[in-house]
Amino acid sequence: MTLKELKEHLSNYYKFDISERTRQREYCYARKVFCRIAREIGYTLQQIGNEVGLSHDAVLYHYRGFNVVSQRDKRIFNQIIKDYSLPIQLCALPKQRKPKPNIKPVLVKTNSPQTYKEELINNIIDAVNEWETETLNHFVTTRLKPFEKLRESTKPQIQPQKIEGAKLNRPVKNPVLC
């Protein structure tokens, strides 16, 4: 496969000319895919750069930065390798996660609160029991964990020492001044 053919195939997949001089993300990612495939096939950095209007160091930058491209670009990379039976290792795509079952957490409340603290905890449990799992996760990551870090890093306040007033060596006879 020649570089011109590879460029045309990628331009067909992306629906735009990948050699266009722009810094938009989709164009940069398309150039990264092009540089990765062309370099893996065996073309030199200079040959690749001449085809898309880049210098050899920019081609090297795109080649090495391939791991930041989006999942869509990785799928296009894999599709071109499969379509043209290129001797390149496929790019690993993350496995699809199975959705977690929506299990409602059960929090234990004190039946008869005897202290103010127990009553506050029961009120918190009532409010949290109504939240969905996503809301709970969001609360833990954005509110609870930062608060715990703050609490752990806060030093206790130092109580100032009591200092007695100055003692006079010679007592004053005026009672107002004493």
pTM: 0.54
Q: Which residue ranges make up each domain of the chain?
A: 3-83, 97-153
Share of the chain above pLDDT 70, in %: 88
Burial code (b: 16+ CB inside 10 Å, e: under 16) for 20-43 equals eeeeeebbbbbbbbbbbbbbbbeb
pLDDT digits (tens, 9 = 90+) for 125-139: 888 888 888 888 888
What tens digit of pLDDT does each residue of 7-66 get? 999 999 899 999 899 999 999 999 999 999 999 999 999 999 999 999 999 999 999 999
CATH superfamily of 3-83: DnaA protein, C-terminal DNA-binding domain (1.10.1750.10)
The C-alpha angle with vertex 107 and arms to 102 and 108, in degrees rounded to 5, equals 150
Q: Residue 111 has what pLDDT?
A: 75
